[in-house]
Amino acid sequence: MYAAFDMNETMLSLAPVKTMWDRHIPGAHREWFARLLHLSLVANETDAYVDFTSLGGSALRYVCEANGYEHPDRALDDLKHAMAGLTAHPDVRAGLEMLRDSGWTMVTLTNSTSTTAVSSLATAGLDGLFDQVLTVEAVAKYKPDPAPYQMAAAFLGKPVDEIWMVASHDWDLAGARRAGMRTAYVRRDGLPWASIYEPPDVAVDDFVELADRLAVGQ
């Protein structure tokens, strides 16, 4: 019983990031995240890996300029502060503890840097619940490229089709499925699942439901 977990939005609430953007460019948090994802995909395709923190800063400056906002440095300072203080969704710890107590081996699999991932887990009170903190830094490719999912399987020493990928992003799970993983979708913020992707193996509203569903699935 093995699972890899995305972090941002899936386990950690990005509400402080939305609040931060609303202070500078109201409603721009989704535009920023979309630009961040765009930059990560281009980095994959051009074999030009740049760490996620740097990509986030570049995406912020792009959004500020595109919207005619003249204080990008101030916005970047606020973004760093917001990201450093992310808290876990209220359901996450209980669900993770249920899985751990049931004998699951659990790792993170995040696009964030290793330093950021370790710090974020500690801040959110989730450190100690995972067997390993895995990030894409090890392979210099961002999800949804196959390399991060294959890296997780190699670390766990299991066939990729025996590992669950848990995420709140359909594109992440599309990549995981392409790599051969089983997929669990955690609905966050009411975002729909894109119809172009094959449906996930499991779709839940929170981590407690996730733990219940995975227990039944085993």
> Which neighbouring-strand residues pair with 192?
none
pLDDT tens-digit series, residues 55-111? 999 999 999 999 999 999 999 999 999 999 999 999 999 999 999 999 999 999 999
pLDDT (tens place) for every residue of the chain, 218 residues total = 999 999 999 999 999 999 999 999 999 999 999 999 999 999 999 999 999 999 999 999 999 999 999 999 999 999 999 999 999 999 999 999 999 999 999 999 999 999 999 999 999 999 999 999 999 999 999 999 999 999 999 999 999 999 999 999 999 999 999 999 999 999 998 888 999 999 999 999 999 999 999 986 55
C-alpha 83, offset from chain centre: 13
Same fold, 2-12+87-217 and 15-84: no
Check if the beta carbon of residue 193 is closer than 8 Å to that of residue 200. yes
Name the residue among 135, 67, 78, 134 with its Cα closest to residue 106.
134
- Going from N- to C-terminal start, the domains of the chain cover 2-12+87-217, 15-84
Looking at domain 15-84, its CATH superfamily turns out to be Putative phosphatase; domain 2 (1.10.150.240)
| Per-residue model confidence (pLDDT) at position 217 | 59
Q: Among all chains, which residue has been given the structure tokens 């999912």?
A: 149
Beta-strand (E) ranges in 111-191?
132-135, 163-167, 182-186
- What pTM, to 2 d.p., does this model score? 0.95
C-alpha 136, offset from chain centre: 11
Task: Report the CATH fold assignment for 2-12+87-217.
Answer: Rossmann fold (3.40.50)
- Rounded distance, CA 32 to CA 18, Å? 10
- Rounded distance, CA 188 to CA 92, Å? 12
> What are the φ and ψ backbone dihedral angles of 65, each rounded to 5 degrees?
-65, -40
Encoded amino acid at 209, one letter: E
